[in-house]
Every structure is written in structure tokens, then in C-alpha cells.
Structure 1
Amino acid sequence: MIIVAGTLTVAPEDREAYLDGCRAVVEQARAAPGCLEFAIGPDLVEDGRITVLERWRGRAELEAFRGSGPDDAQTAVLLAADVTEYDVVRAHDGPPLALPPSIGSPAASALLGKGVRDLRDVAALTERELLSWHGVGPKAVTRLREALAEAGLTFAG
């Protein structure tokens, strides 16, 4: 998934016209293959600031749409642009699937220290990998396997 997020700055008196000019681009983006979200809107605090948020299924879809941005007249009124593209490695849908407390504090600390925050993160790992981490023993792996099964997940590999 690709996320494009940031801000554009225009003179406060130009913001409404700029946003009106973006309406067709937003409609076109939302109809484009692979577009998950596309929003351009006014900042609630700063009069000349515009917030941009895009989510794309992948790079190919974003690149196919890329030429549909602001036209030259819109670009001319931009005073600044601070927009960044993020390539998301892993996204979680739905609420977090908590790590079971029964794995014990040493294992929980080891997992959190490696960036493992919920069961979907655990499902990206192998049992062998987990067992190689200090603090994660066979009992914790068994409890994690059981929790994964209850959530309809399994270890990788």
C-alpha cells in the first residue's frame, strides 16, 4: 500500500478556488483502479493550508494516476507543498488482535522489543524465529500458536 500525505499552502483568499478546482481530480482519483482513499480538504485552523491524503493499493496504480494532479493554473497559486509518499510494508485491518497475557512477561517484552504489537505481527514470523529470541520459549510459542488458531491465523512458513 502507498500512502501520500501532507499539506499544501496557498494564499488564504485562493484556497476556496483551489479546492473547487480539485473536485474533478478527486472524483477521477476515487474512480481510478487501486485508489483506496483520495481526499483534499481545508485545514480547520490555518486559512491557507490544505490537507492531502491518498491511499493506493500499490505503486503501479499510483503511477498510472500520477499525471492527473493540479493543472498549471493551480500549481501557480501554490506557495508551498510538503507532501510525502510512504510505502507501507504491512497494514492491519480491523481492531488489534492482542497478544495473549498467558505468554508471560519475558516473552511479551521480547515481542514488543522487536516491534511485534499484535497477533497479525506474530503471524508474519516463524516458530523457529520466535524461539531464537531471548525470552521466548516453547511455552510462549505454544500459547501464541493457540491464540493464532483462535484468530484464524497461523505462523509463517
Structure 2
Amino acid sequence: MNYILPAFKAVSVTFACLAVATGAHALWKPVGFAASFGMPLQPLPKKNDVNINPNRLDGKTAASYVSLMGVRQLATGFTLLAFASQGKWTEMATILVILGLVVATTDGFFLYRSGAGAKGLFHVIPGALIALLAGSVRYLTP
């Protein structure tokens, strides 16, 4: 069991850095992030577009929402990195059990429901594995 904590440290810091990176991507390029996530948004209308379809205006709201989600992703990553820098691995494990089960499963469900089945599994499986590793740290290490 001596390998669990070092493995968790590597995985959790990697996850935190990826959360910061994906959060920044969603904040600054929401349309691109949404497409890479598996739920592409409609292109935003151009300023001089005289033939604006009213349904396309929802794309601006959706892009803003994706940016807001990016801020939450940034906050998650920075929080996890703060815990890592303070050596609070048990606390970090608790958060990652919750994120791994709740967030990854929810992401996977909605991606599957939107028709992006494989991308849904891409969220569920790693999320479950991270939650399992984090749970092992939380409950099996002294």
C-alpha cells in the first residue's frame, strides 16, 4: 500500500493542472471548448449580420454560460493545487471522491444523452478511477 499515496499525488496534481487548463480554455474560447467537450455550440452571430436567426442569439448566452463553467473549473483546479501545496492530501482526496463520482458521472450522462456517447465514457471511466484512487487514500492510508 506504500504506492497509493505517491500515485494519488501524481494523479491529483495532474488533474488539478488539467482543470486549470480546461477552465482557461472554456473561459477564453467557449465555442472551441464546447466543441472539444462534445457539445458544440452554434456559431455566434457577427456584428454586421443583418439576417440574424433569433435562434442563433441563444448561442451567445450558451457561450457565456460555458465561460462561467470555465471559471468554476479554474476554481476547482486552483483549490486542488492550493491543497497540494499545503500537503493536505486527505482533504484533496475527499474533494476528488466527490468530483469523481458526481461531476464525472453527470458529465458522462449528459454527453451520452446529447449523442456524444464515447465522450461520455471518457468522463465517467477516468472520474470513477480517480474517485477510487482518492477513496483508497482517504480510507486506506493512515
TM-score, L = length of structure 2: 0.25
Give the structure with the larger strand fraction.
Answer: 1
| Structure richer in helix, relative to its length | 2
Structure of higher CA gyration radius: 1
> Per chain length, whose mean CA-contact separation is higher, i.e. which structure has more relative contact order (CA < 8 Å, sep 6+)?
2
